[in-house]
Structure 1
Amino acid sequence: MPILKNARHEKFAQARAKGNTVDEAYVVAGFKANRGNAARLNANESIQERVAEIQGKGALKAEATVERVLKELSRIGFSDLRRVFDANGRLLRPEEWDDDTAAAVASVEVVIRNTGDGEVEHVHKIKVWDKNSALEKLAKHLGMFIERVEHSGSMSLNVLPEDAEL
């Protein structure tokens, strides 16, 4: 569906697609606040189709696919923090990290401490996403875990063939 011909209607649809309430979107579109008119405009079929289209495009832009989720879980699950250091053991700048390593890092904290004599020490704290959780999710997706249910208690059942003598 193309952009709506009425500019105010298009603004209304854009605002609704962004999550504004019906009343908020009505005012954003340039109309004077009026709950009844806002509800009527929101019920308009072309408005609803346009909102759905805009929201659909947003989902495509986000590229939320099974493949992408699995790739991100793999980056976390198979990450190796040795990649954040150079050959001399010094921390590389984040822009020097490869994409897989950068995806596995949740945060970096730099603490600056005065060691005395005018010396300053920088302590880098690197926090990564939970590898165990990522690997568990990948394993479940791959069907590597079999759920088993154990029943406890005692029960006996004697089954005799039909022609057995008692």
Structure 2
Amino acid sequence: MSLTRKQLRFVEAYLLEPNGTQAAISAGYSPNSAAVEASRLLTNPKVAAELAERRRVLEIKAGITPERVLSELAKLGFSDIRQVVQWRANVTQLDEDDETGEPRLSVTNQVTISDSADLTDEAAAAILEVSQTKDGALKVKMHDKLGALVKIGQHLGMFKPHVPEAPGKKEAANLAAMNAEDGTDWERLLN
């Protein structure tokens, strides 16, 4: 038994944007019930099998694997703009001050953008945009480093919420007794 048209549209939409609710809406399910439908569809064995098969085909045809995606995120997350742009201050002596005889210095800033042929694959992958302003200045914009690092951390399970340990019965009783004592120490509260 094959999938219905709506289920197939859900699979296609989910592969483009892995947000179940949005995929269900794109497939034609009501926005009011899309979250429930998405949950139901994602646990449906036939839909799950179709998703897995299409992902497998993508991996084979395009070489898209979780490892490759993580590798590309790592290029962005661990990028260093110094591989693309170099800057420094140039200090030059103009002449000597007439009154003091001290040399007068001029400081200018110099920014150099690396030639694209000289960039490593990792540095090139980290560049989002290179543009030229109206006055001729070049501008380099890098991909979102923090966003890539967060995605890598999430993939690795690094960002689990901290849940403090609940005290045992004995510790809770001791804590309650200490808090009760704090509430009756009038002398300490008045000082």
What TM-score do you get using the length of structure 1 for normalisation?
Answer: 0.46
| Structure with the higher strand share, 1 or 2 | 2
What TM-score do you get using the length of structure 2 for normalisation?
Answer: 0.40
